[in-house]
Amino acid sequence: MDRSDLLALLRLDPEKGIEAIIRAYGALAQKTVRQTGGDALCEEDREEIVSDVFYRVYVSRDRLDESKGTLASYVITLSRRCAIDRLRTKTRRGGEALPLEDAVLPSPEDAETAVLKKEARQRLVSAVIALGEPDATIVFRRFYFAQSYAEIGLKLGLTENAVTKRCRRALEKLRRSLREGE
């Protein structure tokens, strides 16, 4: 069975088609994952990656276009990308992927704290906007974009000294506004 027959079978009878593709390209995917991941990936990781590759082939069966490349090149590319993604995940987590059963869900207190922080940020942004222009722009540029007073002055056509004074006054207005809002 040639490549175009495999794709046609995959589209007509997806289960038989994916089985035939796995028989034809399974070893190629395993070899690619092994070469890409080296010793950093355990056997279990490699098996999962190969399964992910063929799942993606199965899901994208209607979009595969052999005029853009062969099925073999698609399997190789997917294998490399999936292996690299797994390596990145392991690197971010300090070497080992966190098993689902060991995942820690945030406590209700953490969720409540996150909501309170978000509300506080929204109040702060609203209060800064209520300062009006150019004070709001000065505060945002100074504290959000970490620009110096001189940089802000150049952008707004003000002297550095004027920006410093306006920022100090704006912060005082902001403090009063936020205290009154509590």
Domain match, 48 and 115 both: no
Domain match, 39 and 72 both: yes
pLDDT at 98: 46
Last residue of a domain, one of 74, 101, 128: 101
What's the pLDDT tens digit per position in 152-180? Answer: 999 889 999 999 999 999 999 988 888 88
Q: Total structural domains in the chain?
A: 2
Range of the domain at 67: 3-101
CA-CA distance, 120 to 113, in Å (whole number)?
Answer: 10
What's the pLDDT tens digit per position in 5-51? Answer: 888 888 888 889 889 989 999 999 999 998 888 777 888 888 999 99
Domain match, 118 and 89 both: no
CA-CA distance, 46 to 86, in Å (whole number)?
Answer: 9
Model pTM above 0.85: no
End-to-end Cα spacing for the chain = 74
Domain match, 158 and 74 both: no
Residue 70 has pLDDT above 70, yes or no: yes
What's the pLDDT tens digit per position in 88-136? Answer: 877 665 555 445 444 445 566 667 777 788 888 888 888 888 888 889 8
Domain match, 89 and 158 both: no
Report CA Rg, the chain.
28
CATH of the domain at 74: 1.10.1740.10
Domain match, 126 and 84 both: no
Domain match, 112 and 96 both: no
Contact call for residues 142 and 152 (beta carbons, < 8 A): yes
CA-CA distance, 16 to 29, in Å (whole number)?
Answer: 19
Last residue of a domain, one of 39, 74, 101: 101
Last residue of a domain, one of 101, 128, 155: 101
1's CB contacts (< 8 A; 6+ apart) are 9, 20, 24
